[in-house]
Amino acid sequence: MSIPIRIDPSRDILGLIDVQPTFMPGGELPVPEGDAVLPVIEQLLAGPLGHAFATQDWHPPGHLSFASSHPGRRPFESVMLPYGPQTLWPDHALQESHGAAIHPRVAQARIEAIIRKGFRREIDSYSAFFENDRKTPTGLDGWLRSRGFSRLFLAGLATDFCVAYSAEDAARLGYEVFVIEDACRGIGLPLEDGRTTLDASRERLLGLGVHFIASGDIG
């Protein structure tokens, strides 16, 4: 039996990554079982983690990450953009659409900041901290540091993309990072080496010292 992780409200914060209908069944880019994160997140928001932030994918029409912006290309193909390789997605998280909203089951009264990302047409953004060029900041790091937070507990969608990139950047920036596995769901795209994006992201994050926990591990 694992020892519960004791929460220190002065340094610990819950990060809800892209908990939006667009990534859930019936949405434009559904993550398998994406809506299964909702009851776990509801419990987390009612639990000992007294602080929370959220990210919100927020794309303009014609975003360059959309397959529809590249004639002849299909969703989930990869293209090379000025900042590097980019997976192409179905149109999703369109600004001001129902799908782009924070899911209504998320108690926003507990959320102290919402970081919108992917709003620049020319560049995608997976991470809560940087655009996909890995250098254009979202401003989250400065906000967290000004509030004194040093441990991040991440939940949301998708495990192998926006959650993983957020966890990686947080670890590289010096935060202690916990991924709450039962509060996340992934896509699992196949890779050329036989692994999936879920396998690769987990290996990468473990190598950076990111912890993988269950919601029940939080005391």
Locus of tokens 């409200």:
9
What is d(CA 14, CA 128) in angstroms, rounded to the nearest whole number?
Answer: 13
CA distances to 33, 53, 97 from 19, rounded to whole Å, are 12, 11, 14
- Residue 34's contacts (CB-CB under 8 Å, 6 or more residues apart) are 23, 24, 25, 27, 157, 158, 185
**Candidate list 124, 160, 162, 184, residue with the active-site label:** 162
Instruction: Return the ∠ at Cα 108 (arms to 209 and 149), rounded to 5°.
Output: 35
Q: Tell me which DSSP letter residue 103 carries.
A: P
**Candidate list 12, 57, 91, 117, residue with the active-site label:** 117
**Candidate list 18, 57, 124, 160, residue with the active-site label:** 18
What is d(CA 151, CA 16) in angstroms, rounded to the nearest whole number?
Answer: 14
Question: Left if phi > 0, otherwise alpha if psi is -120 to 50, otherwise beta: which for 201?
Answer: alpha
Catalytic residue flag (residue 162): yes
Catalytic residue flag (residue 135): no
CB 19 within 8 A of CB 39: no
Residue from 124, 116, 128, 95 nearest 22 by CA: 95
212: part of which helix (H) or strand (E)?
Answer: strand 211-213
Catalytic residue flag (residue 184): no
Q: Which residues are catalytic?
A: 18, 117, 162
